[in-house]
Amino acid sequence: MIISGKMPSEAVVAAVITAAGSSSRMGGVKKEYLPLRGAARDAAGNPLSVLGAAVLAFAAVGQIGMVVISYPGDMAGGEAIARASLPAGILEETVPEIRFVPGGPTRRVSVHRALALLESYGPGCVLIHDGARPWVKPDLIRGIIGAVREHGAAIPLLPLTETPKETGGDGFIVRHLKRALTGTAQTPQGFIFPAILRAHEQAARREELEGPIYTDDAEIWGEFCGPVAVIPGSPRNRKITFPEDMETPVL
Q: Could you give all domains of the chain from N- to C-terminal order, each with its CATH number?
A: 13-239 (3.90.550.10)
Q: Per this entry, what is the length of the chain?
A: 251
Residue 196 CB contacts under 8 Å (≥ 6 apart), including other chains: 115, 126, 128, 153, 217, 220, 221, 225
Contact between residue 33 and residue 81 where contact means Cβ atoms under 8 Å apart: yes
Integer angstrom CA distances of residue 187 from 46, 167, 190: 26, 26, 8
Give the pLDDT confidence of 170-217 residue by residue, as tens digits. 889 999 999 888 999 999 999 999 999 999 999 999 999 999 999 999
Cα 144 to Cα 189: distance, rounded to the nearest angstrom: 7
150 in Cβ contact with 142 (< 8 Å): no
State the pLDDT at residue 7.
Answer: 64
Q: Residue 232: beta bridge partners? A: 157
Instruction: Give CA–CA dist 13/11, Å, rounded.
Output: 6
Q: Which whole number is the average pLDDT over 239-250? A: 80
DSSP state, 47? B
| pLDDT at site 125 | 96
Query: What number of other Cβ atoms are within 10 A of residue 39's Cβ?
Result: 18
pLDDT at 180: 87
The sign of the torsion formed by the CA atoms of 60, 17, 131, 86 equals positive
Question: Cβ neighbours of residue 24 under 8 Å, at least 6 residues apart?
Answer: none
Q: Is the pLDDT of residue 80 over 90?
A: yes
- Cα dihedral value 117, 122, 125, 126, nearest 10: -20
- DSSP letter at 246? G
The per-residue pLDDT for 251 is 57
> What are the helix and strand counts (H, E) for the chain?
6, 10
Q: Which amino acid is at 85?
A: S
